[in-house]
Amino acid sequence: MNQVVPMPGQELKAQELQRAFDAFNQVSLALTRSYQGLQGRVESLTAELAVANGELRRQFEEKEALSERLSLLLKALPAGVVVVDSAACVSEANPAAAQMFGQEMVGEGWLKLAQARLVATEAPDEWQLDSRRLSIVESPLDSAGGRILLIHDITAAHGLKSDLERSQRLAAMGEMAASLAHQLRTPLAAALLYSANLGQADLGDAARLRFASKATAQLKRLERLIQEVLLFARGESIGRDITPARLLLADAAQTVEPLFVDKGVSFRVACDAGDATVTGSRKALVGAVVNLLENALQACAANGEVALAATLVGGQLRIGVRDTGAGIAPEVQERVFEPFFTTSGYGTGLGLAIALGVARAHGGGMELNSIPGKGSEFVIVLPAQMVADRDY
């Protein structure tokens, strides 16, 4: 048999075809592997996406349930809730708030609505709405300037508080009878004695003037005692005066300065409260400070010293009255604010009780610091503002 011998050109082409076929097989194998890897990655991403979608769905359902619960809670709340946006318009209001105001509030301007319907009362953050008394607490809602207002109807609570205060005053009036009888008898007897002397025909003009002056002084003392009792019995109307702290001190100092000069007691006044103001009854606050000053004057002997000072600490105005008297014993300090309690035998013992009542009615209180033998300091603490900037 004859053997076929390939030509050199044919052998070269066969080798090239073999190499091309081998390269194709390698590329095909690489593509197959890449496809398998890609398919595995797609399956992995599909699984991860399914997990993420499930988590998002769960979060959405939780938020939807929370939103529903909050909505039900707002509807069920007896307190009014009003959301005000940065433009001072009501964006949300629950049914309780709408019922209080007797109208739909969403879309209304809050400032305009409040100015038309709300009347300021003597207490901060409390307002009168027709026959209702409301307490309004404001909190910032977001950085854009939104606010949320929580409105409580405190009509019933305010009525109970007034009834309780009246009952307490009436109960204290029962304790007043014996004390008042004694306090009134002494100046009345003295005034009657001096008045009887005025009827003497041979009384000289100088003596007559002296007896008349003494009788007038005792009658003024009687008038002061009666005024204190009436003030304590009926309470003091607080009002809405906005008074700078320095003017409160100036008014009180002007009232008592002649008394200090007459007794020979040094009197100093210092106001370090800047432009701080207080809201309330200027007359009642000045009267409370005067009570403390008169109490300090009685505690001092001649050549003693009384200091009246005001400072602003943490948004609170502190009006202190310090004396260089004998101080107050610890067992007495516990009773000094009780109505009709007195250790001087002069007055009704209502001065400190009235001052404390005025401070509390203005949202504040009183502090006592006393060391026997080193004097005493009474401090009236009141909420203060640098400017009168209530929004409504």
**Strands, DSSP E only, in the chain?**
80-84, 90-93, 119-120, 126-129, 132-140, 147-153, 241-244, 266-272, 277-280, 305-313, 316-323, 365-370, 376-383
Give the angle subtended at the CA of 352 by the CAs of 351 and 353, to the nearest 5°: 95
**Same structural domain, 203 and 294:** no
What is the distance between the alpha carbons of residues 342 and 228, in angstroms, rounded to a whole number?
14
Q: Kindly state whether residue 20 falls inside one of the protein's structural domains.
A: yes
Strand partners, 367: 379
**Same structural domain, 253 and 149:** no
The secondary structure of residue 315, as a DSSP letter, is: T
What is the distance between the alpha carbons of residues 273 and 313, in angstroms, rounded to a whole number?
9
Contact 284, 236 (CB under 8 A): yes
Q: What are the φ/ψ torsions at residue 279 (nearest 5 degrees)?
A: -110, 130
**Same structural domain, 59 and 23:** yes
The closest alpha carbon to 130, from 105, 102, 107, belongs to: 102
What is the distance between the alpha carbons of residues 114 and 127, in angstroms, rounded to a whole number?
10
Q: Kindly state whether residue 164 falls inside one of the protein's structural domains.
A: no
Identity of residue 27: V
**Same structural domain, 375 and 273:** yes
Q: Angle between the 155-198 and 205-234 helix axes, to the nearest 10 degrees?
A: 170
Torsion angle, alpha carbons of 255, 258, 263, 268, to 10: 70
Give the pLDDT score at 4: 53
Q: Which residue has the tokens 């953050």?
A: 125
Looking up residue 180, the CATH number of its domain turns out to be 1.10.287.130
**Same structural domain, 130 and 212:** no
Average pLDDT of the chain, as a whole number: 80
**Same structural domain, 244 and 335:** yes
Alpha carbon 385 to its chain's center? 11
Q: Kindly state whether residue 162 falls inside one of the protein's structural domains.
A: no
Neighbour tally for 223: CB within 10 Å? 11
**Same structural domain, 63 and 98:** no
Number of domains comprising the chain: 4
**Same structural domain, 144 and 201:** no
Structure tokens at 328: 């107050």
**Same structural domain, 247 and 376:** yes
What is the distance between the alpha carbons of residues 90 and 117, in angstroms, rounded to a whole number?
15
Last residue of a domain, one of 118, 153, 188: 153
**Same structural domain, 248 and 379:** yes
Give the pLDDT score at 359: 86
Q: Kindly state whether residue 292 falls inside one of the protein's structural domains.
A: yes
**Same structural domain, 217 and 337:** no
How confident is the model over 189-228, as pLDDT tens digits? 777 777 887 778 777 888 888 888 888 877 876 776 666 6
Q: What are the φ/ψ torsions at residue 134 (nearest 5 degrees)?
A: -115, 145
Q: Kindly state whether residue 40 falls inside one of the protein's structural domains.
A: yes
Looking up residue 100, the CATH number of its domain turns out to be 3.30.450.20
The closest alpha carbon to 360, from 228, 238, 233, belongs to: 238
Give the pLDDT score at 391: 45
Q: Kindly state whether residue 170 falls inside one of the protein's structural domains.
A: no
Last residue of a domain, one of 35, 69, 103: 69
Last residue of a domain, one of 121, 153, 185: 153
Q: Residue 219: which domain range? A: 175-235
Give the pLDDT score at 389: 45
Looking up residue 385, the CATH number of its domain turns out to be 3.30.565.10
Q: Angle between the 205-234 and 351-361 helix axes, to the nearest 10 degrees?
A: 40
Per-residue pLDDT of the chain (392 residues; tens, 9 = 90+): 555 555 556 677 777 888 888 888 888 888 888 888 888 888 888 888 888 888 888 888 787 777 667 666 666 667 888 888 888 898 888 888 888 888 888 888 888 888 888 888 877 778 888 888 988 888 887 777 788 888 888 888 888 887 887 777 677 666 555 555 555 665 677 777 778 877 787 778 888 888 888 888 778 767 766 666 666 555 555 567 888 999 999 999 988 888 888 889 999 999 998 889 998 888 888 888 988 998 899 889 888 999 999 999 988 999 999 999 888 888 888 888 776 666 665 555 667 887 888 888 888 899 999 888 889 999 999 998 875 444 44
Neighbour tally for 334: CB within 10 Å? 12
How confident is the model over 121-150, as pLDDT tens digits? 877 778 888 888 988 888 887 777 788 888
Give the pLDDT score at 340: 65
Report helix, strand or coil for 120. strand
Give the pLDDT score at 390: 44
Q: Kindly state whether residue 168 falls inside one of the protein's structural domains.
A: no
Contacts of 270 (CB under 8 A, 6+ apart): 307, 308, 309, 310
**Same structural domain, 36 and 113:** no
